[in-house]
Amino acid sequence: MIGLVLSFTTHRQPRLRNIRILTFLLAAPMLLAVTFWIFLRFTIVKEPPTLTDLQRDFPSKRADIEMILRMSDEDLTFSRIAPTFLDRTPDNPHKFGRYMADDPKAGLARSRWDVYRTIYNRNGIRLGVQRDASNDAFIMVDSVGLLNRGHVSGYLYCAPTAEPSARRFYPCMLHQERGERKYDPRTRDEGYSFRKLDNRWYAYDEGPS
């Protein structure tokens, strides 16, 4: 700022030229930093929907979300059905099978997978549906970040029955209208927040972990 003022008030050469060069050298990194922040803010780093966003959209998306749940109930051999890959639960519980799109070994018909993808696209669901051993279903709308720095949000359905000792999603264990816990880097306790929508449905945000 001082350089800009001096460049307009100083009329002696080469001092004026030197001031303007110095001003440019000092201002350029700041302009690059601001430009980079704007680029990240509006193109790369996009936060997933908030609980308020999910609650607002739930009535209009509920029919499709419940369709995903019903389809997933029929495809319980798959613990994850994403737009581009599947996680299949094999007969051997100690093995894990991930299959990418169009892999003939995936075990899910292409036409069936396309139905999932059509519903996902229509509702902006980028990560698909995940099931756990209790048959709870997390329909993951979007996420940001990686590993212990990221979080994911979406619609969670708590199955009506589960083993008492089963590890479940937090809303399904806590039976509360809403809840929240911040991530603790000391204990590495996972962060989460949730809000009950209706019956067994929750708006849910999970992470960091």
> Is residue 115's pLDDT more than 50?
yes
Q: Do 151 and 191 touch, CB atoms closer than 8 A?
A: yes
Q: pLDDT digit string (tens) for 120-149?
A: 999 999 999 999 989 999 999 999 986 567
Residues 145, 47: Cα–Cα separation, whole Å:
9
In this prediction the pTM is 0.76
